């Protein structure tokens, strides 16, 4: 019946014809950096003993993500995410967590979706909103961490 796994994996190795460029229309498809972060996302997973956690949903499209951080001496020493989302959401979350990894909380709080999109080299116009998910989750996880500190006896 079905062929062996390796058989279809070879298809990833094939040449891709470049999408037809239309300078007027702007970016209409994901660039190679975005596709790389989508096919091999960084920092996927969960942190069992996380210091901060957030669950974020995008009500417009129904996509969802979870993000965990581990904090030590004011720095994010580990960060992980999981996403039920489109390629844009997965790739931007991968980039957002990559940027935030190792950062001091003061710097991480300053990160915006623009930083993520810039680091990826752009994202199609109708996918801009997806880049908010990773950043909102990061900011919410930092707030969650801060609340836990305040509540600590």
Partner 1 sequence: MNKRTTIYLDHNATTPLCPEAREAMLPFIDGLYGNPSSYHHVGRQARSAVEAARRTIAEIFGCSPAEAVFTAGGTEANNLALRGAAAALKDRGRHIITSAIEHHSVLKTAEALGRDGFDITFLPVDAQGVVAPQAAADAIRPDTILISVMHANNETGAVQPVEVIGGAARQRGIAFHTDAVQAFGKIPQGAVFEYADMVTVTAHKAYGPRGAGALLVRRGTPLVPLMTGGHHEQGLRPGTENVAAIGGFAAAAEQAVAKLASESARIAALRDRFEALLLQAISNIAINSRGAPRVPNTSNVCFAGIESESVLLHLDLLGICASAGSACTTGEPEPSHVLRALGLSSVQAQGAVRFSLGRATTVEQIDTVAAALAGIVKKLREVSSL
Q: What residues are annotated to the active site?
A: 61, 130
Q: What's the CA gap between 123 and 131, in Å, rounded?
A: 9
Of residues 88-107, which lie at the interface with ligand FES (CB under 6 A)?
88-89
**Are the C-beta atoms of residues 27 and 46 closer than 8 Å to each other?**
no
The C-alpha angle with vertex 9 and arms to 86 and 97, in degrees rounded to 5, equals 35
Closest approach of partner 1 to the CB of residue 123, in Å: 13
Positions of E strands within 22-147: 52-57, 64-72, 75-84
User: Contact with ligand FES (CB under 6 A): which of 44, 61, 119, 140?
Assistant: 61
């996302």: which residue's tokens?
41
Near partner 1 by CB under 8 A, which window of 3-11, 71-79, 115-123, 142-150? 3-11
Q: What's the CA gap between 127 and 152, in Å, rounded?
A: 40
User: Contact with partner 1 (CB under 8 A): which of 14, 23, 24, 151?
Assistant: 14
Please tell me whether residue 38 adopts helix, strand or coil conformation: helix
Pick 4 or 21: Cβ nearer partner 1: 4
CA atoms within 13 A on the CB side of 104: 2
Of residues 64-123, which lie at the interface with partner 1 (CB under 8 A)?
64-66, 81-87, 89-90
**Are the C-beta atoms of residues 117 and 30 closer than 8 Å to each other?**
no
> Which of ligand FES, partner 1, none sits in contact with 133, Cβ below 5 to 8 A by type?
ligand FES
Interface positions with ligand FES (CB under 6 A) = 58, 61, 63, 85-86, 88-89, 127, 130, 133
Interface positions with partner 1 (CB under 8 A) = 1-5, 7-9, 11-17, 30, 35, 38-39, 41, 44, 55, 60-66, 81-87, 89-90, 126
């Amino acid at each position: 019946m079905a062929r062996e796994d390796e058989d279809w994996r070879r298809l990833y190795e094939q040449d891709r014809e470049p999408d037809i460029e239309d300078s007027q229309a702007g970016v209409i498809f994901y660039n190679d950096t975005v596709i790389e972060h989508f096919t091999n996302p960084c920092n996927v997973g969960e942190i069992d003993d996380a210091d901060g956690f957030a669950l974020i949903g995008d009500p417009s499209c129904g996509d969802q993500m979870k993000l965990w951080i581990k904090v030590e001496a004011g720095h994010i020493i580990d960060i992980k995410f999981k996403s039920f989302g489109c390629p844009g959401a997965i790739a931007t979350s991968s980039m957002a967590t990559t940027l935030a990894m190792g950062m001091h909380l003061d710097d991480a709080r300053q990160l915006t979706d623009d930083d993520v999109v810039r680091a990826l080299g752009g994202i199609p116009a109708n996918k801009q909103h997806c880049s908010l998910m990773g950043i909102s989750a990061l900011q919410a996880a930092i707030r969650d961490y801060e609340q836990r500190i305040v509540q600590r006896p």
